[in-house]
Amino acid sequence: METILKTDKLRVEYSTGEFQKTPKVALQGLTLEVRAGEVFGFLGPNGAGKTTTMNVLLGFVPPTSGSASLFGIDVRQPIARQRIGYLPELTYYYKFLTAEELLRFYAKIFGLKGSEADKRIEQLISLVELGHAAKRPIKGYSKGMQQRVGLAQALINNPDLLILDEPTSGLDPIGRMKVREIIQRLKNEGKTVFFSSHEMGEVETVCDRVAIIYQGELKEEGRVADLVAKHRAANLEQAFLNIIGYKPAVAP
């Protein structure tokens, strides 16, 4: 199968202030491959390096060493991002625009015009159920509504690859359910989804494969069932805790 997302011995260091000479290593030697049509779960506790990996994939942060590519194009080239959709972990959008204007703006960037853009925007707004608020400035949106605007903008170009950074964090159970539904739907349409999470329950149900990173290093990679079996755990959560070497304070 075609490789859509690839990282090769990726290393990212952050310099931590003027005085500290030793840089903070956020990622070391990360090698990953995501293939077409997969839903790939990128798992790790807070601070593991998930967002950093995505920042490299999107060209926000240049890698210290190693390389990354999307659709076989190096991520340093803007064109690599032509066919992706990205939902950041925490975002705000231009507050003074309405959801509709925002989507129109992004549509323009992808060269969508006229009735094609209208149709697409209409579809997305109804997909994320923002019809009632589409003509109000984003300023007045709740957190859940903002997240839905984010999802809509990530889909504006009908992308082949979706990169979602903790798409369900901070959402209520209904919101999470909706996001999972959308991921499932995209999978059925044949899209590739690369998403990060630290909530094992939702990952288990939608992911084909997962990677677990911890302190910037890849610990395990494989099908959910294989990992659970390998670590002789009851579910993914236990396997995960096992992999990152977590010892419960109180024995069960």
Partner 1 sequence: MNTVFAIAGVVIKELYRRKDFYVLFVLSALITIAAGSVNFFKDLVMVRYVKDICLLLIWFSTLIIAVITAARQIPAEKENRTIFPLLAKPVSRGQLIAGKFLGCWLATGLAVLVFYVFFILVTATKGGDWQLVTYSKSIGLLWLMLGMVIAMTLLGSVVLSAVSSNTTICLVVIIGVLFIGEHLNKIALRQSEPVKSITYTLYYVIPHFEIFDVRNLVVNNKPMPSLKACGLATLYAGAYVTAFLYCTWLIFRRQRLNT
Ligand X SMILES: Nc1ncnc2c1ncn2[C@@H]1O[C@H](COP(=O)(O)OP(=O)(O)O)[C@@H](O)[C@H]1O
Interface with ligand X includes 52 (CB under 6 A)? yes
70-129: which residues touch ligand X (CB under 6 A)? none
Interface with ligand X includes 26 (CB under 6 A)? yes
Interface with ligand X includes 157 (CB under 6 A)? no
Q: In the complex, what is the shortest distance from the CB of residue 137 to ligand X, in angstroms, rounded to a whole number?
A: 30
8 A C-beta contact, residue 211 and residue 221: yes
53-92: which residues touch partner 1 (CB under 8 A)? 55, 58-62, 78-82, 84, 86-88, 90-92
43-82: which residues touch Mg ion (CB under 5 A)? 50-51
**191-221 as b/e: b if 16+ CB within 10 A:** bbbbbbbeebebbbebbbbbbbbbebebbbb
Instruction: Classify residue 136 as exposed, middle or buried by CB count within 10 Å of its CB (0-12, 13-18, 19+).
Output: middle
Which stretch in 3-11, 28-36, 39-47, 151-159 sits in contact with ligand X by CB under 6 A?
39-47
8 A C-beta contact, residue 133 and residue 145: yes
Determine the Cα–Cα distance for residues 148 and 233; give it in Å rounded to an integer. 35
Identified binder of ligand X from the candidate list 6, 39, 44, 87, rule CB under 6 A:
44
Q: In the complex, what is the shortest distance from the CB of residue 65 to partner 1, in angstroms, rounded to a whole number?
A: 15
Residue 24 binds which entry of ligand X, Mg ion, partner 1, none, with Cβ cut-offs from 5 to 8 Å by kind?
A: ligand X
Which stretch in 49-57, 129-137, 181-189, 241-249 sits in contact with ligand X by CB under 6 A?
49-57
